[in-house]
Structure formats: structure tokens, C-alpha cells
Amino acid sequence: MALVVIGGVAAGLSAAARARRADPRLDIVVLEKGPVVSYGACGLPYFVEGRVRQAEELIVHTPEYFRKERNIEVRTGARVVSISHPRREVRLESGESVRYERLVIATGARCDRIGVAGADRPHVFTLHTLEDAGRLRAFIRDKHPRRAVVIGGGYIGVEAADALRRNGLAVTVLERSANVLLRHDPRLTAAVRKQLEKHRVELRCEVTVHAIEPDRVADVPCDLALIACGFRPNVELAVEAGIETGATGAIRTDDRMETNLRGVYAAGDCAEVNHLVTGRPAYIPLGTTANKTGRVAGANAAGGRERFPGIVGTTIVGIFGMGFAVTGLSEEQARREGFSPVAARIDAHARPRYFQGTDTTVELVADRSTGRLIGGSVIGEEGAAGRIDVVAAALHARMRVEEFAQLDLAYSPPFTPVWDPLLIAAQQLLKEL
Amino acid sequence: MALVVIGGVAAGLSAAARARRADPRLDIVVLEKGPVVSYGACGLPYFVEGRVRQAEELIVHTPEYFRKERNIEVRTGARVVSISHPRREVRLESGESVRYERLVIATGARCDRIGVAGADRPHVFTLHTLEDAGRLRAFIRDKHPRRAVVIGGGYIGVEAADALRRNGLAVTVLERSANVLLRHDPRLTAAVRKQLEKHRVELRCEVTVHAIEPDRVADVPCDLALIACGFRPNVELAVEAGIETGATGAIRTDDRMETNLRGVYAAGDCAEVNHLVTGRPAYIPLGTTANKTGRVAGANAAGGRERFPGIVGTTIVGIFGMGFAVTGLSEEQARREGFSPVAARIDAHARPRYFQGTDTTVELVADRSTGRLIGGSVIGEEGAAGRIDVVAAALHARMRVEEFAQLDLAYSPPFTPVWDPLLIAAQQLLKEL
């Protein structure tokens, strides 16, 4: 039996590797349109920053590794131009056809420049592939730009702003909506703005960019522009083959990551997934979800029966050393989803004062009618990842605030205060419920 | 109505403060036998180390604060010698009686020296109260001891060993059982031993100390001995008043922290609590549990109806900068509790290499018959507290390993690797189940 995987980054290679473990005799071919596979795309901002010195450091495995160690054929420069499911084959740009019995679509996403005039100018960049990052790094090194505009205040936008600022550039971030980090959360946006401004990065919200001029974007002078918005799932190949997308615009699958075509799976940034808090499909493309859905798709494509239950929307981003972490729904998002949200926000020390504990801010959101925890955010220089993960676990478990407030969390002065900020926030929230 | 609280540290003052918030008109009297109240006992090793410079830094609030700000009468030097429940009064050492309608017993625990000859020599210390720590600190400063023996390899023992070593002393830890940190876990003990030895602290297990000589303990030469074993709940007052203890030897309560005597509550280090993994009472005295059970006892003593569901046995201890965190049951403990345990242990990076991620070790334990997660440990210089707390939350939720392996945890290179060590361990454990 032959498994073909379209896409050779996180989801595609997770699927291929998992399928191989499930079935040692399967023929597995991975078709990647780009020149490299298996790189950590989330590390790209740190390559731009200069912390990662060689782009190669971000490459986890080579095609040779997959061939020799996993018996998986990985082909680069192999762009699929069409899928014919009735004939069970994909056609490559070269004209060649590849037959499959099972197919995993892991075509990822792209940064859509459509609608922005001047997006093809030489001082305009995206930060989506290893090549993008290499081009940007070379431009900074060779052209010594002094002022950058980052279009988009999502994760990649603020990480890139941080990286560019650390290279000495003046940086302005332009965000179309009223809020950054793709979350309707004015308090989170205010905290991000404060941290950016502390490090002299300007943030302007509610600015729509229509054109990039050679020396300015939306009246902000610059000699470097980075497009970090318009993230779109690559679904065209799938749609032309008769595969359905959901309301999010990404490929719809069941909880086995199978599409409406039997034997065809989708995973990673091209697919939507179930949001465990809302119970509805969501499109929150992230490396972690790409790996997990890829594994499930690969296991099932190889004849297994694994489930991907869904996500709760956990993310963290570092901005000049401060962690901004969220999970579930913000108060505003919860309202839009039909909950009756109640929120509590507290400031506390992440550790006792005599261990130089820094400030941390925790916000928890509950649904008034059920008492269930439905979201939260943690902002701080230390412990933000660990604390948001506790909230995420509680969301997976559909925990009520009352139960969350009694969690038996670790305590010792070098690590945490005796009342963890999470528990202080939960107690505060209980009073509001 | 009058509420009397016996004990003015974590549980007692939590109870008093919570009762005050619940009922502004209650008469509340806290009787503390020692000279100070409201201090962070868990900070004592860091005072011995010298990191906390003044003992006063560990005092959270003074009796004046409670009187003025909370309208709570806090009496120090007020040792209760008997409780007469039929007469609803406690008798003090001074001969005075204090009447109550509701009583909270928060008498704490002690380090029992019984059975150790020479425990009253001037170079022998315990580390239980602020006075103990002050005496030890003064001895180190004035007498310049060079070799210390710590009797007991529990939390206080290893923290004290760390603190003494940082003061330049040669340190040997003697532990009666085969394992440290009060946990039947040979792998954890091996890791602790390795870390202690790396910092030139000797650990000898299965050594029973019968006597402390002026210049040696169990053949180990020393000019300072610290007793950090024989931790016992102070239950005598309660038992004499007809209050029942459980199989653990600590005071038995219901989930409202009420004892067998109506209107009499117990909280903190003198009480046992429900272990949510085993479903049986456990005695794991910790500051966090003292605060939580104190709050519940106080709320209920003031007429409320709050529940304390129980603990999962989460602890963390820092040894020379490395965190050793556990929750739930070790494989060996699980076996003794009648489970069919399966364990998986993995080593991974706590963060990506280009962010100087250090090694972290995660062990997860599941019950084979139910697939339920029942325990775990995390060892590492960073992130151990946050990661064990995620496991703790999962234990509260009675999560199965299958569900745990799909947790949507935060990922960004400055904080975590794309596959969190927790998820790698869970995947490993799934293969074993």
C-alpha cells in the first residue's frame, strides 16, 4: 500500500513518521514543494534576531535521514498541482504523476499579500519559510536598514518586531484590528503595548495597509517592511479535488483527521480542528497542533484508529523577555461565543520576594451559568508557560472554578509563592461568580 | 458568637482571616504558644542559608496587624493545655480559660526527638520555628562549625543540607529509609543523590540514628547536628478532648474539616486529608495544604459550607538550583496502594537548544487497568514547578493518559520545545500501556 503526503514540514513529516511506526511495510512518499523539509518554522524570528546563527540549525532532519533511518522517500522541489481522487493520484508541476491509496494533505498556510500594492518590492519580506528568513537576514546584514514597519500584530509580527529591534532598527507595528495576538482582549493588548513601548517599539492598531511605498507604509517612514498578516490555509489543491472546507475556510475533517474523501486526511496549518471550549471548529494554526494532527492523520492513514480530540487555543509569545500566554477564550471572545463570562484579573509575585520573584498577571474567565473555567491569560517574565498549561489542562478537563481553586500545586520558595497566582486569581473569580 | 483558633501560623491564621471575611461580627481569638505568629516556615532554610537576611522578613503579619486591620485578637505566648468541649472552653498554661462556640485546632506538627539520645546537646538543632532557625544561624556565625550531619532526608533535611553547604560546611545527610523525600522512588532518590554529590554533600541511606555524640553521629564526625526527621502531628490536646485521629495518626476530619466533635475543626499540619488518587486519608503536611484547609475550616466555623476535596501530593524541593517535583504516586507507592502501575521515564530538553534549554527528566505513572494517570515526577533546573502542576491538575481531573498526551500546551522557542517533555513522556507511557 502507498501513502502519499503533500507537505514536508511539521504535520506532513509527523504523519509520515507515525505511519511508518504503525506499518513498517507501507510505501511512504512525502512531496515538498520547497527546497528543504523538516525545519522549525517557529524558530525563524530567532534566526532573524541572530540568536540562531545558521539557518541549518533549524533543520531537524534531512531527506537523507528519512530515507536511511525511516525508509520514507522525501522529495523536495516536488510541487503538487492537482489531486485526482477517482484515479488515486497526484500530479506534480513536472508533469509526473504519483499514485496513492492513502493521502495526507499537509499543505500548510501562507501569508497572503493579495490586496497590498507594492508587496513585491525588494525591501518587503514575509517570514514564513527558511528562505524568507534567509533573505531578510541577508538584507539586514547587507543593506543596513534603519526603520522597519511590521504589518500585522499577531505572533509572528510581534516576534519579528522584537528580533528587528534587537538588530538596532526602529520598529513600528501596524495592526488592522483593535487588538494584537489575534485575541479580542483589550487588557492583553494594553499589556503588549506597554512592553513594546518600554523597548521603544511603536504599536498602532486599527490601521489598514493598502500599499507599501518604497520609503513608507501608511505614513510611517521605513526602509524595510515585513508582512506578517493575512495568514491563510493552503486549501486550493484540496478544494479542486472535491474536499470540503469548514466555516473557518480551512479543510474540514472528522476527529480522525479524515476529510470527506475516504482515505484522504488533512493535518496541520491547512486544517481546522475542534475547539474543546466552544465545541466548534476553529482555525488556530500552530506548530504543536500541526505535529499532533499530523501524528493522528499518519496513524489512521496507516490503518490505525486514533482520535484528535481538539485544542483549547493555548499560545505563548515572548516579547523582550516577557511571556504573554493565553488559553481558551478571553472575556470578549466568550461573550461572542454565547457564554455569560465573568473574569478576574490579579497581579502577584511569581516567586517570594527573597527569591527576586517578578510580577505576574493572571486573568481567568469563567462561564457564570455553569461555573466552568473557559479561558485565561498569564503575563510574566517567569513561569507563564507552566501556569497557562495548568489552565489549559483544566480546560481539557472542563474543570469548574471551584475545583480549580483547590488544585494541589507545587510550592517551595525558590519556585513559587505559597498561594500560587493561579489560585489567587481563582479565589478572586469565585467571589465574582 | 466566639471562634477560638489554637495555633497562629499558616492554617490557624488562614482560618481566622477567612472566618472574619465570612462573618464581620464574630469574636475571633487566635492562641499561639510561641512568641511570633504568621511566619513563612518554608522560608526557614533560606534564612539559615543567609539569602533571607533578617528573620523578620519571613513574618507576614504582626498581631497588631490582625487586631487593627482584621479585628482578630491574636495572643502570643498563649499555650493551650486542655480543651473541655462539654464546657466549650480551652485552658491556658497560665490557668486562664477561654470560652468558644466554635473551635479550630491548628496545632501543627513537631520534630520528635524521642529515641535519639543526646538530642539536647548545644550543637543539636531542629528547623521548625523561627526561633530554631535563629539559634542555628547564630551558632554558625559564632561557632564556625565545619562539619554538619543532617538527620533525615526529607524536604527540610535536603534544603537544610543545601543551606549548610552554601555556608561552607561539609555536610552528610543520614536517612533511615532507602529513599529520600518521603517517597518510595529509587530513581528519584538516585537523582537526588547525584545532585547532592555533585555539590559534595554526602547522602547515606538506611542509617538509623540512636544517639548524637558531642563529636559524631553514627560514626560521621561533626560539630553540628540537625534533626530533620520524626515529623509528628501535634494531636495530644485534641485526643485528650475526645477528638479522633485516623490511621495516619493525624486528626481525622470530614471534607468540611470538622472533627468528630460538632463545631470543632482541624486544619494544617495536625490534620490528615483525603488523597484524591488513592481515595484514602493521607498525612502530607505542607504549607499549601495548611493554608487551604485553614480557609475551609475558618469558612465553615463561621457558618459557611465549604469543602476541601483533598490533595494529590504535589511537592517540589530545590537542591542546589535543581528542582525535584513529584505528584500523585510513584510506581512503587502505586503498587503498594493496589494499582497495577506502568511507568515511563524520559529525558528531554526543557527548551530548544538555541535557547540554552537544560535537561529535564519526566516520569509518568499510570494504572494499567484504567489507563488513568496516577502520578509523576519532573526533575530539572527550569520549568519543573509548572510541569508538575500540569500533572497535578490532570490527577485532580482523573485524566487518562490518552487524554493527557493530547493536551494543548503552550509552545514558543524561548519557553518550551514543540513537543513538551510532558507529552513525550505521555506518548512513551501510551506505548507501555
By residue range, what is the domain housing residue A92?
A: 2-40+59-109+232-301
Residue B344 lies in a domain: yes
Residue B355: its pLDDT value, please? 87
CATH at A270: 3.50.50.60
User: Pick the catalytic residue: B42, B111, B205, B222?
Assistant: B42
Q: Nearest to residue B415, comparing CAs of A165, A386, A154?
A: A386
pLDDT, tens digit, 9 for 90 and up, residues B90-100? 999 999 999 99
Of B180, B200, B229, which closes a domain?
B229
Please state, in angstroms and rounded to a whole number, the distance separating the CA atoms of residues B213 and B225.
Answer: 9
For testing contact with chain B, the best of A127, A181, A412 (most B CBs within 10 A): A412
Of B229, B251, B266, which closes a domain?
B229
Provide the shortest C-alpha distance from residue B419 to chain A (in Å). 7
Which chain A residues are Cβ-neighbours of B394 within 8 angstroms? 393, 397
Of A229, A261, A293, which closes a domain?
A229
- Residue A392 to residue B386, Cβ atoms within 8 A: no
Could you give the ipTM of this predicted complex? 0.96
**DSSP, res A268:** G
Average pLDDT over residues A104-127: 92
Task: Specify the residue for cell string 484522504.
Answer: A264
B333 and B290, same domain (yes or no):
no
Domain total in chain A:
3
Residue A112: its pLDDT value, please? 82
Residue A353: its pLDDT value, please? 81
Residue A230: its pLDDT value, please? 87
* CB contact B54 to A (< 8 Å): no
B248 and B286, same domain (yes or no):
yes
Residue A282: its pLDDT value, please? 97
A86 and A190, same domain (yes or no):
no
Residue B307 lies in a domain: no
Average pLDDT over residues A275-292: 96
Three-state secondary-structure class, residue A48: helix
Residue A428 lies in a domain: yes
Measure CB to CB from residue A287 to each of B316, B411, B414 and give the nearest one: B411
Residue type, A335: R
| Low-confidence residues in chain B, pLDDT < 70 | none
B295 and B372, same domain (yes or no):
no
A337 and A391, same domain (yes or no):
yes
C-alpha Rg value of chain A to the nearest Å: 23
Residue A113: its pLDDT value, please? 78
Residue A355 lies in a domain: yes
* CB contact A419 to B (< 8 Å): yes
- Residue A410 to residue B308, Cβ atoms within 8 A: no
B12 and B97, same domain (yes or no):
yes
B90 and B151, same domain (yes or no):
no
pLDDT, tens digit, 9 for 90 and up, residues B315-347? 999 999 999 999 999 999 999 999 999 999 999
Please state, in angstroms and rounded to a whole number, the distance separating the CA atoms of residues A407 and B309.
Answer: 9
- Residue A317 to residue B386, Cβ atoms within 8 A: no
**DSSP bridge pairs for B6:** B31, B105
B245 and B225, same domain (yes or no):
no
Task: Provide the whole-model pTM.
Answer: 0.96
Nearest CA in chain A to B318: A414
Nearest CA in chain B to A311: B408
Residue B119 lies in a domain: no
Residue A395: its pLDDT value, please? 98
A128 and A157, same domain (yes or no):
yes
Angle A222-A225-A227 from CA coordinates, rounded to 5°: 150
Whether the per-residue pLDDT at A111 is higher than 90: the answer is no
Average pLDDT over residues A74-80: 97
B381 and B416, same domain (yes or no):
yes
pLDDT, tens digit, 9 for 90 and up, residues A336-387? 999 999 999 999 998 888 888 899 999 999 999 999 999 999 999 999 999 9
For A321, residues 6+ apart whose C-beta sits below 8 A from its C-beta are A381, B414
Residue A71: its pLDDT value, please? 97
Whether the per-residue pLDDT at A391 is higher than 90: the answer is yes
Nearest CA in chain B to A313: B408
Please state, in angstroms and rounded to a whole number, the distance separating the CA atoms of residues B11 and B294.
Answer: 4
Instruction: Give the B window 121-180 contacts with A, CB below 8 Å.
Output: 155
The CA-atom distances, in angstroms, between A159 and each of A176, A217, A321, B336 are 17, 19, 11, 50
Residue A387 lies in a domain: yes
Residue B52 lies in a domain: no
Q: What is the DSSP string of A176-225?
A: SSSSSTTS--HHHHHHHHHHHHHTTEEEEES----BB-SSEETTEE-SEE
pLDDT bucket at A13, cuts 50 / 70 / 90: very high
A320 and A427, same domain (yes or no):
yes
Beta-carbon neighbour count of residue B70 at 10 Å?
17
B242 and B98, same domain (yes or no):
yes
User: Can you give the length of chain B in residues?
Assistant: 433
Average pLDDT, chain A: 96
* CB contact A223 to B (< 8 Å): no
- Residue B389 to residue A390, Cβ atoms within 8 A: yes
Residue A154: its pLDDT value, please? 96
**DSSP, res B118:** T
Ramachandran category for residue B363: left, alpha or beta (phi over 0 → left; psi -120 to 50 → alpha): beta
Q: Nearest to residue B79, comparing CAs of B290, B281, B244, B237?
A: B237
Measure CB to CB from residue A412 to each of B317, B354, B383 and give the nearest one: B317
Q: Which three cell numbers stand for residue A352?
A: 517570594
Ramachandran category for residue A416: left, alpha or beta (phi over 0 → left; psi -120 to 50 → alpha): beta
Three-state secondary-structure class, residue B120: coil
Residue A336: CA atoms inside 13 Å, Cβ hemisphere, count? Answer: 9
pLDDT, tens digit, 9 for 90 and up, residues A241-271? 999 999 999 999 999 999 999 999 999 999 9
Residue A50 lies in a domain: no
pLDDT, tens digit, 9 for 90 and up, residues A170-215? 999 999 999 999 999 999 999 999 999 999 999 999 999 999 999 9
Residue A394: its pLDDT value, please? 98
The CA-atom distances, in angstroms, between A59 and each of A72, A130, A281 are 17, 9, 31
Query: Could you tell me where the beta strands, DSSP code E, fall in A339-419?
Result: 341-349, 359-367, 372-380
Please state, in angstroms and rounded to a whole number, the distance separating the CA atoms of residues B422 and B428.
Answer: 10
Angle in degrees, 0-180, between the axes of helices A384-396 and A421-432, rounded to the nearest 10 = 50
**Proportion of chain A above pLDDT 90, given as a percent:** 92
Please, are residues A130 and A36 in contact by the beta-carbon 8 Å criterion? Answer: yes
Query: Could you tell me where the beta strands, DSSP code E, fall in B127-263?
Result: 147-151, 170-175, 201-205, 216-217, 220-221, 224-227, 231-233
- The DSSP element (H or E) to which A391 belongs, if any, is helix A384-396
* CB contact B291 to A (< 8 Å): yes
Which chain B residues are Cβ-neighbours of A317 within 8 angstroms? 412
* CB contact A407 to B (< 8 Å): yes
Provide the shortest C-alpha distance from residue A351 to chain B (in Å). 11
Residue B41: its pLDDT value, please? 86
- Residue A418 to residue B384, Cβ atoms within 8 A: no
